[in-house]
Structure 1
């Protein structure tokens, strides 16, 4: 983590800004994509669950349930009146875990503890939905409810549950295609965000580049007469104004320093000149013998 942080801090400001923009957009796109996927998934599963509710066999008598249990099989047999030809998985589950497949069922659904609990509870108002698999491992959407006889003498069959299921092949295919589309769009969005971030960084940091070039020029040439144009009142403008004020102060200080050196040199030259003149006069007087 520290190595990544050091690497990030070592990048140019333009690269860091572009990278941060791309990461922010990537997170936003990922959040929207995941939310969209889960919303579509819920809608598709609600549609499948509605289809399962409408597929509950009606008019099944207690005798038909008894025959199904007496001739219990784990593979579809002859039509016994459950009424849905090779579209749904239809079977009954005993509270002890015994599974009996209806004659016109597509196949066998692997029972779970939840199915056995529904059979034992016998609550007709409770529909138990879950994802499951058949005997071949094919994904299914499964609905289990307490077994109820049809007709006027409607009654709950004790310790027995009715399971209806439908394949999830089309639903999973739709969700996989949606995931691929969202992933593609998200990838394009991230790449576009990176390009846009680089363009924004170049455009937004152009005044900073100009300021940097000017500072480097002053440091290289010591030319304090350079001024940066000030436009607007943003941070760059205030920084440019501060730089202009600083260079003006430095130029004024340098001029004062030069003037001080010149004045000091003049003051030093005046007594030295007088001393030299006196020495020359004394030497000439000594040479001529004059006082």
Structure 2
């Protein structure tokens, strides 16, 4: 505390040494900057939540045809060549067993099964939604549900689950762009607020400047015949009248 106090006091003294017009403009710009930053951060987080919800809904509602799923299951259980069928969209599809093993659809990078996925396969949970990395180190959003009986056909007492995953880069890229746009717009807003604050300070403090000049002239010349301007009924006007 003792080391931080002197710089803080020096900063306060430097601020108080500024002309009133500069202090008012600086305060206006600071207030606007804080407001713009708060709105930008809130906008970014709200957008992220909405995009994540949309991604989660797309995983929950992913439609997988029974035939490709049966082919994948058969190949996974027999250890044969994986089927050539590709699943729709950017989904990574996997069969997860209760023992923790998993088998990934072709042309996609495997995503290591997590304990929550195994719990679904074993019947301890109905579904699971989580974020993890695939074997390439990319962040993936994963939704796991029980493998439908029409696909599993009673294999291993249906101790199986299906995981569908999509890369988080699908929302990270738009969020990164949004962050740059918000930073640019916020910067322009702060600069504009500084200019507006300076203009407001000049316009609002004009009566103060006129009163200051008149009082300084009286103090310098001792000419009591000088009329101090009185305009309006605000505090400056009352002070001028007095």
Structures share fold, TM-score greater than 0.5: yes
Task: Using the TM superposition, give the Cα deviation of residue 67 of structure 1 relative to its aligned residue in structure 2, in angstroms.
Answer: 5.6
Question: What secondary structure is seen at the aligned counterpart in 1 of 2:147?
Answer: strand
Q: 1:227 to 1:104 in 2, by over 3 A?
A: same
Q: Determine if contact 2:70/2:151 at 8 Å carries over to the other structure.
A: no
Give CA deviations for 1:19-44 in whole Å, capped at 9, x if unaligned. Answer: 11111111111111112212222222
Q: Determine if contact 1:118/1:161 at 8 Å carries over to the other structure.
A: yes
- Which residue is equivalent to 1:79? 83
Task: Using the TM superposition, give the Cα deviation of residue 95 of structure 1 relative to its aligned residue in structure 2, in angstroms.
Answer: 4.7
Q: Determine if contact 2:71/2:83 at 8 Å carries over to the other structure.
A: no
Please tell me whether residue 27 in structure 1 is matched to residue 34 in structure 2: yes
Task: Give the structure, 1 or 2, with the largest relative contact order (CA under 8 Å, sep 6 or more).
Answer: 2
Please tell me whether residue 224 in structure 1 is matched to residue 224 in structure 2: yes
Q: 1:138 to 1:54 in 2, by over 3 A?
A: same
Question: What secondary structure is seen at the aligned counterpart in 2 of 1:123?
Answer: coil
Q: Any stretches of 5+ residues in structure 1 without a counterpart?
A: 243-291
Looking at CA atoms only, which structure, 1 or 2, has the larger radius of gyration?
1
Normalised by the length of structure 1, the TM-score is 0.69
- Which residue is equivalent to 1:157? 158
Q: 1:14 to 1:99 in 2, by over 3 A?
A: farther
Q: Any stretches of 5+ residues in structure 2 without a counterpart?
A: 1-7
- Mapping 1:232-271, distance limit 5 Å: 232-242=232-242
Please tell me whether residue 188 in structure 1 is matched to residue 196 in structure 2: no
What is the aligned residue count? 233
Q: 1:147 to 1:229 in 2, by over 3 A?
A: same
Q: 1:178 to 1:62 in 2, by over 3 A?
A: closer
Q: Which moved more, 1:160-169 or 1:232-241?
A: 160-169
RMSD, aligned CA:
3.0
Q: Find the aligned partners of 2:71 and 2:185 in 1 and give their Cα distance.
A: 57
Q: 1:225 to 1:112 in 2, by over 3 A?
A: farther
Q: 1:43 to 1:208 in 2, by over 3 A?
A: same
Q: Find the aligned partners of 2:150 and 2:34 in 1 and give their Cα distance.
A: 54
- Mapping 1:9-48, distance limit 5 Å: 9-48=16-55
- Which residue is equivalent to 1:256? none
Q: Which moved more, 1:183-192 or 1:168-177?
A: 168-177
In the TM superposition, structure 1's runs of 4+ consecutive aligned residues that sit over 6 Å from their partners are 60-64, 151-156
Task: Using the TM superposition, give the Cα deviation of residue 80 of structure 1 relative to its aligned residue in structure 2, in angstroms.
Answer: 8.0
Q: Determine if contact 1:62/1:149 at 8 Å carries over to the other structure.
A: no
